[in-house]
Structure 1
Amino acid sequence: MEPNRSFSSSSSSSSSSSSSGALLSGEQLIYAITIPLSTTIILANLLIILGIVWNRQLHNTPNYFFLSLLVADLCTGVALPFIPWMGLNRQLSFSSCLVAHVFPNFLFLAFLLNLVMVHYERYTCIASPLHYSRLWVHRRFPVALLVVWAPPLLYAALPAFGWNNWSAPNWDHCCPAGVESGTETETRAAPCAANATSSLCCSYRRVFPNAFIYLEVYGLVLPAILAIAGMTGRVLWITRGQLRDICRLHRSLERGGAQVSDREQRLNLRYTRCVVAVSLTFLACWVPYIIYMHVCVAFLLSETRWSSTTHIVLSCTGIGSMAVVPLVLGLANRQYTEPAGAILRKLWDRWRTRRPPPPQQHTEEIAL
C-alpha cells in the first residue's frame, strides 16, 4: 500500500504543478494580447474625446451621442484585460466573483447599446432629415442617454439579485482534474465539489445561468448587431439613390460632356470605396465576435471543457475587434480627426520647447 500512496502523491503533485504552469502561461497570454490592445483603445478614445470637448463647434446632440459611445468604448478598453478571465475558473468569494463577472458584462452591454443609438441617430438623420429635429432622440438627449446606460446595468445586475447558479448541487467541472482520494489535491479541491456555497470556485456557469446567457446572446446582442447591419445597409441604399439623382441632374444640365462623365466616375468611385470600407470594417470587427459568441454557446450546449488558450485567443480577438468600431467611425470623420491632430501638434510643440538646451561647456569650447 505504501508504494501506491507515494505514487498517488507524486502524481497529484505533478498534476498540480502542471495546472499551475498552465495557469501561468494563460495569464501571460492574456496580458500579452490584451495590454497592447487595451492601451491603444484607451489612448485613441482619450484623444478623440479631448478633441470633441475642446472644440465648441462639436457641442451638439449627434456628437454627444458619439461622446457617450467613446466613453463606453474607453471603459471597455479598461475592462478588456479582465474579460478573458470570465471564462476561467478561479478561487474567489461570492461578492468578488459577482463583481468580476457582472461589471465587465455591464460595460459590454452599455457599449453595444451606445453603438446602436449612434447608428440609429445617424440613420434617422439621413432617412428623414426634415423630421429629425422633432424626434425624441434629438429633443430629449438625457432620456436617450439614460436608455443606453440604465437597462444594461439592470440586466447585468440580475445575477446579484438571485438569478445565478451559486447554490447548484454539482460543480465537479470547477475542480482540478485528476483528483485522487486521500491526497493533498483532494483536500484543496474538496470545498469546490463538496460544499456548494464554497468561496473557492468562481466560474461564469455559477454566476450566469444558461437561460441568462441565451437571453443575452439571442435576445440582446445578436438583434443589436443585426440592427446595426440593417441600418448601415439602409443608409448605403439611400446614398446610392441620392447618387443616381445627382448624376441625372448633371446629365440634364450638361449634356454629353466629358466633365460629366468624369464627375460620375469620381462619385461612383467614392461610393464604391465607401461600400468596400464598410464591408471590410464589418468583416474585420464584427465577424470575429460573432464567431466567438457562437463558439461559446456551442460549448455551453455540449457541456464540454475547452482549452483555456482557445478561449483566451477567441475572447481577446472578438471583444477587441468589436471595441475598434468606434475608433474606425471617429478616425473616418474629419471633424474628429482635425481636433485630435491639433491636440497632437500642441503636445509635440510643448515637448520640443521643454527639451533641455545643449550643454554650455561644449559651446564655450567652440567659441574659444
Structure 2
Amino acid sequence: MSTFTTTTYLLCVSVGCLSVLIMSGNLLVIISIIYFKQLHTPTNYLILSLAVADLLVGLLVLPFSTILAVSSCWDHQDLLCEVRTTFDISLCTSSILNLCFISVDRYYAVCQPLRYRAKINVRVIVIMILVSWIFPTLNGIIHAIIGVHDGQSNRKCVLIQNINSGSTGLVLLFYLPAIIMLITYLKILMVAQRQARSIQNTTCQSKKSESKMERKATKTLAIVMGVFLICWSPFILCRTFNPFTNFIIPDAVIAIFKWLGWSNSMLNPLIYAFFYSWFRSAFRMIISGKLFLGDFTKSKLF
C-alpha cells in the first residue's frame, strides 16, 4: 500500500510540474504574439494556434490522464475516459496539422518569396487555422463515440489503444502529414541553399539580412517539426505494429512513449526562446512585469 501511495504521489507531482511548465511556456508564446504588433505575422499566427493546442494538452489532457492512472475505482471513469480521449486525439491531431500548415507557409516564404504575400494572406491563414481545429475536433468526437459503442475498457483507455482507430487513421492523421512536412522542408532546404549562394554575390545588405532571417525562421520551425516527430514517433510506431505482434509490447513501454509525446508540448516554447531573439525579448518583458508599466505593443523586439 505504501509503495502504491509513493508511486502515486510521485506521478502526481511529476505530472503537475509538467502541466505547469507546458501551460507557462505556451502562455508566454500566446501573450507575446497577441500583445506585440511586431509579431503579428502569418507564420506567428500559426505558431499561436500550435501554442494554444499545446497549452490545452497541459490544461486538460495531462490532469485527466493522471486521474485515470491513479484511480481505478472511480464511478465516472468511463465518462472521464471518453472526455480525455476526445481532448487527446483532437489536440494531437491539431498540433500536427498546424505544423503541416507552417511548413506550407515556410515553403512559399522561401521558395516563392515574390508570391508569398499574395498566397499566404489573412484569409488563407484563417482557413488553415480553422481546418487545424475543426477537423481534429470532429475526429476526436467520432473516436469517443466509437469508444462508447465498443465499450472500451479502462486499460485501453489509459493507453489509448483504440484498435478501431486503426492503421488507416494513423496514416491519414500522422504518417501522411509527416511525409508532407519532410518533403516540404527538404525542398525548402535545397532552395534556401541556392538562395544563400546567390545572395553572397550581391552587395544589397537588406536582401542579405532578409534572406538570413527567413532561413533562420525556417530552420527553427524545421527543428520544431523534428522534435515533434521524435517525441511522437515511438508511440505511433507502437500503435502501428503492436496489433501485428499479438500485443507483445509491454504496457509500461507504451505508457512511457505516450508521456514522451505529451512532453513535446513543453519543448516548443523552449525552442522559440533559444532560437528567436524577438521571443526572448518578449518573454523577458512579460516575466519581468514590464507590460504593466505602460504600452509596449509597438516595441522593437529585434
| TM norm. shorter chain > 0.5 | yes
Query: Which amino acid in 2 is paired with 1:346?
Result: G
Q: Deviations over 1:320-357 (max 9, x none)?
A: 1365235414542223222222223335998xxxxxxx
Q: CA RMSD in A?
A: 3.9
Query: Which amino acid in 1 is paired with 2:184?
Result: M
Deviation at 1:246, TM superposition (A): 2.3
Structure 2 partner of 1:310: 253
Q: Identity percentage over the alignment?
A: 19
Structure 2: how far apart are the matches of 1:291 and 1:207?
A: 14
Structure 2 partner of 1:225: 178
**Which runs of 5 or more structure 1 residues have no equivalent in the other structure?**
1-16, 175-200, 254-262, 351-368
Deviation at 1:228, TM superposition (A): 2.4
Q: Structure 2 vs 1, CA of residues 46 and 30 (structure 1 numbering), >3 Å: closer, same or farther?
A: same
Q: Structure 2 vs 1, CA of residues 206 and 118 (structure 1 numbering), >3 Å: closer, same or farther?
A: closer
Deviation at 1:149, TM superposition (A): 0.5
Q: Deviations over 1:50-69 (max 9, x none)?
A: 22222123234332222112
Whether 1:164 and 2:147 are equivalent positions in the alignment is: yes
Structure 2 partner of 1:290: 233
Structure 1 partner of 2:267: 324
Task: Judge conservation of contact 1:292–1:315 (CA < 8 Å) in 2.
Answer: yes
Query: Which amino acid in 1 is paired with 2:103?
Result: H
Whether 1:53 and 2:6 are equivalent positions in the alignment is: no
Q: Structure 2 vs 1, CA of residues 349 and 54 (structure 1 numbering), >3 Å: closer, same or farther?
A: closer
State which structure, 1 or 2, has the greater radius of gyration over its C-alpha atoms.
1
Query: Which amino acid in 2 is paired with 1:119?
Result: S
Structure 2 partner of 1:117: 101
Structure 1: how far apart are the matches of 2:160 and 2:236?
A: 18
Task: Judge conservation of contact 2:161–2:239 (CA < 8 Å) in 1.
Answer: no
Structure 2: how far apart are the matches of 1:331 and 1:108?
A: 24
Structure 1 partner of 2:283: 340
Whether 1:63 and 2:44 are equivalent positions in the alignment is: yes
TM-score (norm 1): 0.63
Query: Which amino acid in 2 is paired with 1:131?
Result: R
Q: Structure 2 vs 1, CA of residues 72 and 226 (structure 1 numbering), >3 Å: closer, same or farther?
A: same
Q: Structure 2 vs 1, CA of residues 205 and 217 (structure 1 numbering), >3 Å: closer, same or farther?
A: farther
Q: Deviations over 1:209-234 (max 9, x none)?
A: 42413233222112222222222222
Structure 2 partner of 1:75: 56
Relative to its length, the structure with more helix (as a share) is 2
Query: Which amino acid in 1 is paired with 2:163?
Result: N
Task: Judge conservation of contact 2:57–2:91 (CA < 8 Å) in 1.
Answer: yes
Deviation at 1:94, TM superposition (A): 4.0
Task: Judge conservation of contact 2:29–2:269 (CA < 8 Å) in 1.
Answer: no
Whether 1:96 and 2:110 are equivalent positions in the alignment is: no
Query: Which amino acid in 1 is paired with 2:93?
Result: L
Structure 1: how far apart are the matches of 2:144 and 2:49?
A: 26
For these two proteins, the number of residue pairs brought into alignment is: 282
Deviation at 1:109, TM superposition (A): 1.3
TM-score (norm 2): 0.75
Task: Judge conservation of contact 2:29–2:279 (CA < 8 Å) in 1.
Answer: yes
**Which runs of 5 or more structure 2 residues have no equivalent in the other structure?**
294-302
Structure 2 partner of 1:44: 25
